[in-house]
Structure 1
Amino acid sequence: MNTLSIFSALKDAIQHACQSRDFGGVLRIAESTGMRGGEDKRSITILRYEYKFSDSDGNSVELSFRSYDPSGPFQMEPDINRFNLTLTVDGRQAGQYSDSYID
């Protein structure tokens, strides 16, 4: 797959994930297209995944997902789940998509 088709597939998957409130399908597509990355375990309070694909011309697709609890002490709020997707072609940002859902 090329960077544009990966970007398009992930964008569609993100839209579906936000409607169904399930991020797992987006991560499976990222891994099946050859993107490198995975879970970032540096924080115990935020669930974070980072993926990147670069082709031989230096074009790239980057995906980040994070899920976090915005609650403060003695508060109970739903988690915020946020996706950010970026396409870079010839060293310039050629596409960007962000979406989120609350659960």
Structure 2
Amino acid sequence: MRRQSETLLLVPLLPIFLIGMFPMFLIGLLGFFGLALFGVLVICVGLASSNEAHDNFNHDVIVHGYARGSERATQASNMHTATRLALRLEAVGAAMVIAAAIGLVYPG
């Protein structure tokens, strides 16, 4: 039997590595300022996600009118789920900015 190459196991991990390179280089090259910058970017992603969730809900209400109760409840549930995820992203981003500020203030 022919043995498969181990490099084929690494192919699915390549996109994760490529996406993860940017924050690691940013933090590695810029230090705490890079961490703060990355935290601000995460906060922006959270705000954009929240705005997109509300936009989708409003679009459904405006274009299709008020739906039946079950459909409206599903749409509202989807909006609340996306908003909760966005809130978590904003909290993580704020924690990163606070950690960077503490790192900049207390050298050592």
* Alignment TM-score > 0.5, same fold: no
Which is richer in helix?
A: 2
Alignment TM-score, normalising by the size of structure 2: 0.30
Alignment TM-score, normalising by the size of structure 1: 0.32
Point out which structure has higher relative CO (alpha carbons under 8 A, 6+ apart): 2
Higher Cα Rg, which structure:
2
